[in-house]
Amino acid sequence: MGKIVALGGGRFDNGEMDIVTEHIISLTGKKAPLILIIPTASFDNMDENDDVKLCFEKFGCTTDILFLTHDDVTEKTIKEKIEAADGIFVQGGNLKFLMDTWKATKTDTYLLQAYERGTVLSGASSGAMCWFREGYDDCIDGQFVFVPCLDIIPYINCPHYQSEYWQTFEEALAVTKKPVSGIACDNGAGFCINDGVYYTVAGNEDGDCYFYDANDNYKKTNINQNPDILKRL
């Protein structure tokens, strides 16, 4: 079984996500793991001064970047970089572009294999949604849509849930009558799985996760306040 830390969002440049970063590192079982950062969702718009990269390096990690839109990328490069990583962090951005690019480059296949090997998978926003069955993202001309993802975690995910803008997720679930339950995460909060066990994490500015039960008319439950619900998932 594998390990995933899926974050609703948060800032990595001011210490807010230090607790979560250290947790991701601890799951690798190494003091100085190699963390592969994948910025596909931002159309590979990333440089050496990226906040996430610098945050992992602050805690002693070695980092690498996998650009998938560059002309010189090959399937061999993708495979080798993913296989070499102790942990993977996926940046946020456009979820549909991310999933389309992963499928076109077979990155999705190698990431699923990494999960089975026990590589720690993580990310924020689109980089969190990608691990779920579907993600709820405003990636089509600013309109929210449900995007099929890797389906490792069998729920629909919505990030940034402290924002009223993203809370349309609740209505969208009810209107579309999705047969799959939802998980929504505030910035600073993460929904995680470790060898089949679900739990939540939070940065130093807190943040909650919520469960929307498809079997109970999408009833909303604050997971942080009702952790026993995790035993039913």
Rounded mean pLDDT for each run of 10 residues along the chain, 233 residues in total: 94 94 98 97 93 97 97 96 98 98 98 98 98 97 96 98 96 94 97 96 92 96 95 87
Under a CB-based contact definition with an 8 Å cutoff, are residues 209 and 184 in contact?
A: yes
pLDDT score for 1? 67
pLDDT score for 48? 85
pLDDT score for 47? 87
Question: 3-232 — its CATH code?
Answer: 3.40.50.880
Domain borders along the chain are 3-232
For the entire predicted model, the pTM comes to 0.97
What are the structure tokens assigned to 41, written together?
């969702």
Residue whose tokens read 């499928």: 103
